[in-house]
Structure 1
Amino acid sequence: MAGAGEDGERRIGVAMDYSDSSKKALDWAIDNLLRRGDTLVVLHVLHHGGEEAQNTLWAKSGSPPIPLSEFREPKVMQHYGVKPDAEVLDAIDTAARQKELKVVAKLYWGDAREKLCDAVEELKIDTLVMGSRGLGPIQRILLGSVTNYVLSNASCPVTVVKGK
């Protein structure tokens, strides 16, 4: 199958920070990209983690892959420093059932630009979908753009879903 990993399944990554733009990116991926049997990899990059030991232990590799059954559990996600979003969980849950998706989440700590590109390599992501915050030209110059960096440096196709 074209665009599939070595084992025949496609791995679709979605960068998720629970912003409106990342939720739109998830919805777009579910509606337009994900097919029956694909693996959806929900990628979170946190600036800091809940526990320093986790940050040290997983600073380079990120968390272990978290299956959907654990991703749904508020206590598990709070352990990692992530506040679950019911809207996102419902969308993922529904898509997983309807399209028979495998779903895993992976958390990273640090610079989102570098960590998203690392995730693409490490997890053998076939394509990455991410939202655009819609920064103006001045903000983009001052703050830098995660989207621009990932577009230029990721080793897979990247789809950017605009907020409006």
Structure 2
Amino acid sequence: MAASSSEKQAVVIGIDDSEQSRYALTWALDHFFPSPIFKVVLVHSRPTASSAVGLAGPACAGAAEVLPIVDSDLRKIAARVVETAKQICVSKLVDDVVAEVVEGDPRNVLCDAVEKHHAAMLVVGSHGYGAIKRAVLGSVSDYCAHHAHCTVMIVKKPKSKH
């Protein structure tokens, strides 16, 4: 007999607006779902409007007028990311799915989601940054591999052959 949704262990899958993220989600669904023992928790980290505006933030003249517009755009992007991820789940016949959009740095948001849901596994995509970009931008997958309190699966999309 299958466990009820509340008894299932969570697999947190980090999602964003990238091809790598969609690949990681699809890969995880193809290899682990549908499952009678796991539920999918999709987590999208939405930046704050002020962080998205960056250096031209609140000190910049006119920033007060720009922030609500940026915030609205970020909300629309988040809704699109979640809807796309849910459609991928539906196409793979996975219906035990919860989606969350959390404002903040993706590294912290994903590790916090692991704790909140007592996740058995965290799945993230790899953007494949080189050493310099990884040093400047930071690697979400690397951070999660070292700080998440569960198994972390980093799914890397194979390079296409020319």
* Fold shared per TM-score above 0.5: yes
Query: For this pair of structures, how many residues does the alignment match?
Result: 131
Counterpart in the other structure of 2:67: none
Counterpart in the other structure of 1:20: 19
Distance (Å, rounded) in 1 between the aligned partners of 2:118 and 2:75: 23
Contact 1:25 1:129 in 2 (8 A): yes
Distance (Å, rounded) in 2 between the aligned partners of 1:19 and 1:93: 19
Counterpart in the other structure of 1:149: 143
Residue 31 (structure 1) aligned with residue 30 (structure 2): yes
Counterpart in the other structure of 2:80: 84
Q: Which protein is richer in helix relative to its size?
A: 2
Equivalent runs, 1:90-129 vs 2, <5 Å:
90-95=87-92, 98-99=93-94, 101-129=95-123
Contact 1:113 1:150 in 2 (8 A): yes
Distance 1:135 1:79, change over 3 A: closer
Residue identity matched to 1:20: E
Contact 1:15 1:42 in 2 (8 A): yes
Residue identity matched to 1:28: W
Distance (Å, rounded) in 2 between the aligned partners of 1:87 and 1:115: 20
Q: What RMSD over aligned residues (CA atoms) do the two structures have, in Å?
A: 2.7
Specify every segment of 5 or more residues in structure 2 that has no aligned partner in the other structure, as ranges. 50-72
Residue 45 (structure 1) aligned with residue 45 (structure 2): yes
Residue identity matched to 1:117: C
Structure of greater Rg? 2
TM-score by length of 2: 0.70
Distance (Å, rounded) in 1 between the aligned partners of 2:130 and 2:35: 37
Fraction of identical pairs, as percent: 32
Counterpart in the other structure of 2:133: 139
Specify every segment of 5 or more residues in structure 1 that has no aligned partner in the other structure, as ranges. 50-77
